[in-house]
Structures are given as structure tokens and as C-alpha cells.
Amino acid sequence: MQYTLLAKDKNSEARCGVLTTAHGEIHTPVFMPVGTVGSVKAVHMRELKEDIRAEIILGNTYHLYLRPGTEILQAAGGLHRFNGWDRPILTDSGGFQVFSLTGTGRKITEEGVTFRSHIDGSKHLFTPENVMDIQRQIGADIVMAFDECPPGTSDYNYARHSLGLTQRWLERCVARFDETAPLYGYEQNLFPIVQGCTYRDLREKAAEHAVSLNRAGYAIGGLAVGEPAEEMYAMIEVVNRILPQDKPRYLMGVGTPANILEGIERGVDMFDCVMPTRNGRNGMLFTRNGIMNMRNKKWADDFSPLDPEGTSYVDTCYSKAYLRHLFISEEILAMQIASIHNLAFYVWLTQEARRQILAGTFKSWKDEMICRVTTRL
């Protein structure tokens, strides 16, 4: 995998580049739709490629390990062949999901994490080694290290202990990954995850340790978990001052359109979030002029296009009144239309940020966009 830095904004840390993988190029900054179980909810692969124009999607190790299971995935020839997506894929390690299973008998030890399936209650063990093996079987282009995800409200002592465990696990992930080979004839790359909650010294220590392992890219985890937005932005700045300029930076699980713009301004290259699909399924649409709640009565007789400036076919094919009708009627089509619109908007937002960086106008454009995308319509 090769990252080429093409341009930097003169008034901020924003940058754009090209990440070349075995399944194609990724033009950064980039938004990556979340396909947890191998599918982006309510969206066909053709829509993702041709209409939304996503360049990379996510899968999740925890969910794919439980269903359909690694035997099925390996027999299919990996996730790309299983789900029909022929562009790059990134898989999260499942750490966040495992550590979210509080109250289910989950147990953390130096070896790994014992947990019970949310599906049938069966007992499983994730270790740094077998999570690397599972991600080899899934076959994503970019795989994530197995880490502990401490709550955002963790006190300093817990966060310090958690980071120590994450760093030891990272070293085991790297060792296992480097001693195994890809299963499907193309290159895979491992990204460490920088943790440390909102403690500056822990974030610095985590970033320095990750950089010392010399991987193809780096992720920033453990943010957008309840801390104030300004603290999140401060931690991004702390970490990105240490991460190398010639490697991609991935901010995990973030976020709103405003969060993404602020992340780009601070030098982040890659983003993912369930918000466009999850919020979309509940009637919330993001646009370049603000946020719409499609269940509101104000849209009942608004026959104008869903989003005249939108980039998806759904934006001019359907009206606001029609989409509101579908939501009020609890039609599945409403969730599909809203998901497609939101994903297309998020992809447009990062692509437009890239164009503004190349043109040297990012900072002024971003400041204006922040005001627009946070407006309630």
C-alpha cells in the first residue's frame, strides 16, 4: 500500500492525497460507509459504486466472525467475493463491539477478552493473535489492531492501565500479522490504533509507540464517545503532531458533517460513521444547507426535490413530501432513500473538501460550511 501526499492547505493542517491498495485507489480525505456485517444497511453495492461513489467500505471482525463465520468467508475467497464489492475494504478489529458487551460476562485478561455472543450467548475468546488470523480470513485491504476501548469517562489510572494493555496487544498483533501471509493473493496492511482517552500525555505516548512500529497507516480511536467536541479536536491535534506526514490517518467512528470538517482541518484523512445510515433510517437527512427531519409536518406538502443540490439520483427523483409520506407510512423504501442520500452527501463533503484543498480555499470554505451543515431546517 502506498500513500502519496498531494497538497496541504496553507491556512490549516488539511491535506489531500491518494492511497493505493490492491483493490484500487482511495482519494483522501475520504468517508467510508460502514458495512458492519458485509453490507451497508439498505444499500446495494451498485448504488454504493455508481451513485454514492464510495471508494472504500468497512466491515467488522466481531460481527463477521459470528455470522457468517470465517469458514464461510474463506470458502467464498474472502469478503470481497462474498459480498461482491471489488473496491478496498477496511475491517475494524471488533474491539469496540467486544468492550461494549458490558453485563454479559465479558472478561479482560492479558491473554485477551472472553465474551458471549449477542446472538446466542455462546462463549468466545478474542486475542491479538486470533483477531489477526480472522482478519486474514476476511481479507480486507486494511485491518485494525485489537485494542481495549476504555469508556470516555475513564479516570487517569484506568486509562493508563488500559493503554498499557493496548500497547502490549499491539505488539502481539504486529508480530502475528508479520509472521502470517495473506490468503487470497493480494497485500493487506495493519493499522495500529492510538488510544489514551482525553489525557494528553497518554495520547502522546500511544502515538509515539504506534509510530515506532512503522506501519502503513495509523488510526485514532476512543474519541466521539461522550467527551465534549473541543476535547476531541484537541486530542486529534496532539496525535497528528506525532504521526508521520507520509502515512494516512484514520479517525474512527466520527461523526457529524461538522466533526468531519474539523477533523480534515486538523490533518485527518479517513473517516467512518454509522450516522448517515442510522440517522437516515430514523428520518434525519444531512444536506449542504442543513439538517432536515423528514417526519416533520412542514414537509407534508413540499413537493420540491428532496435536495436540488444533491449528487444522488434520489435527490431529484423524489420530493420532500413523498419521502415524509413514506416515513409516516413506515415504508422500507423511506430508509433506503434516506440512507442513499446521506451517504452520497457524506462522500460529496469529503470530495469537495479535497477540491477546496487543491484550490487553496479550504479554510474559508470550511468555516462557511460549518455554519450551513449545523443549521436545522
Per the domain annotation, does 236 fall within a domain? yes
Q: From the CB of residue 215, how many other CB atoms can be counted at a distance below 10 Å?
A: 20
Q: What is the pLDDT along the chain (377 residues), one digit of tens a residue?
A: 999 999 999 999 999 999 999 999 999 999 999 999 999 999 999 999 999 999 999 999 999 999 999 999 999 999 999 999 999 999 999 888 887 776 677 899 999 999 999 999 999 999 999 999 999 999 999 999 999 988 888 999 999 999 999 999 999 999 999 999 999 999 999 999 999 999 999 999 999 999 999 999 999 999 988 788 999 999 999 999 999 999 999 999 999 999 999 999 999 999 999 999 999 999 999 999 999 999 999 999 999 999 999 999 999 999 999 999 999 999 999 999 999 999 999 999 999 999 999 999 999 999 999 999 999 99
Residue 291 counted as domain residue = no
Flag whether 377 is in a domain. Answer: no
**CATH code (residue 56):** 3.20.20.105
Measure CA of the first residue to CA of the last residue in the chain; give whole Å: 42
Domain presence at residue 250 = yes
**Phi/psi at 147 (5° precision):** -135, 165
Question: The domain containing residue 116 runs over which residues?
Answer: 31-272
Residue of 9, 92, 307, 315 marked active site: 92
Answer whether residue 362 is part of any domain.
Answer: no
- pTM equals 0.97
Q: Which residues contact 137 (CB under 8 A, 6 or more apart)?
A: 70, 73, 74, 78, 183
Number of domains in the chain: 1
Identity of the residue numbered 359: A
Classify residue 306: in a domain, yes or no.
Answer: no
Give the count of alpha carbons within 13 A of 3, CB side only.
22
Element (H, E) at 272: strand 270-272
> Measured between alpha carbons, how far is 32 from 50 in angstroms, rounded to an integer?
15
Choose the catalytic residue: 51, 141, 269, 272.
Answer: 272
Tell me the sheet residues that pair with 92: 60
Residue 324 within a domain: no
Active site residue 272: yes
213 domain-assigned: yes
Q: Is 147 designated active site?
A: no
